[in-house]
Amino acid sequence: MSTAVPEPITASLPSDVRVAVVAARFNAHITDELLGGCVSRLQELGLDKERIEVYRVPGAFELPVTAKALASTHRVAAVVCIGAVVRGDTPHFDYVAGETARGCQQVAINEGIPVIFGVLTTNTEQQAFDRTGGSHGHAGRFAAEAAVEMICVLAAAKRR
Instruction: Give the sign of the dihedral formed by CA 86, CA 145, CA 36, CA 15.
Output: negative
**Could you tell me if residue 157 is inside a domain?**
no
The answer to whether 100 and 119 are in contact (CB under 8 A) is: yes
Residue 59 sits in which domain range?
A: 23-141
At 111, which amino acid appears? E
Number of domains in the chain: 1
Domain of 60, CATH number, reads: 3.40.50.960
* Residues annotated in a binding site for 5-amino-6-(D-ribitylamino)uracil: 26, 60-62, 84-86, 117
**Could you tell me if residue 151 is inside a domain?**
no
Higher pLDDT pick, 143 / 6 = 143
**Could you tell me if residue 156 is inside a domain?**
no
* Residues annotated in a binding site: 26, 60-62, 84-86, 89-90, 117, 131
Average pLDDT of 134-160? 92
pLDDT tens track for 13-56: 888 899 999 999 999 999 999 999 999 999 999 999 999 999 99
* Residues annotated in a binding site for (2S)-2-hydroxy-3-oxobutyl phosphate: 89-90, 131
pLDDT tens track for 57-98: 999 999 999 999 999 999 999 999 999 999 988 888 889 999
pTM over 0.85: yes
Whether 29 sits among the annotated catalytic residues: the reply is no
CA nearest neighbour of 115 among 62, 70, 67: 67
Residue 74 backbone zone (phi > 0: left; psi -120 to 50: alpha; other: beta): left
Q: Given 29, 92, 136, 138, which residue is catalytic?
A: 92
Categorize the per-residue pLDDT at 160 as very low, low, confident or very high, splitting at 50, 70 and 90: confident
pLDDT at 5: 67
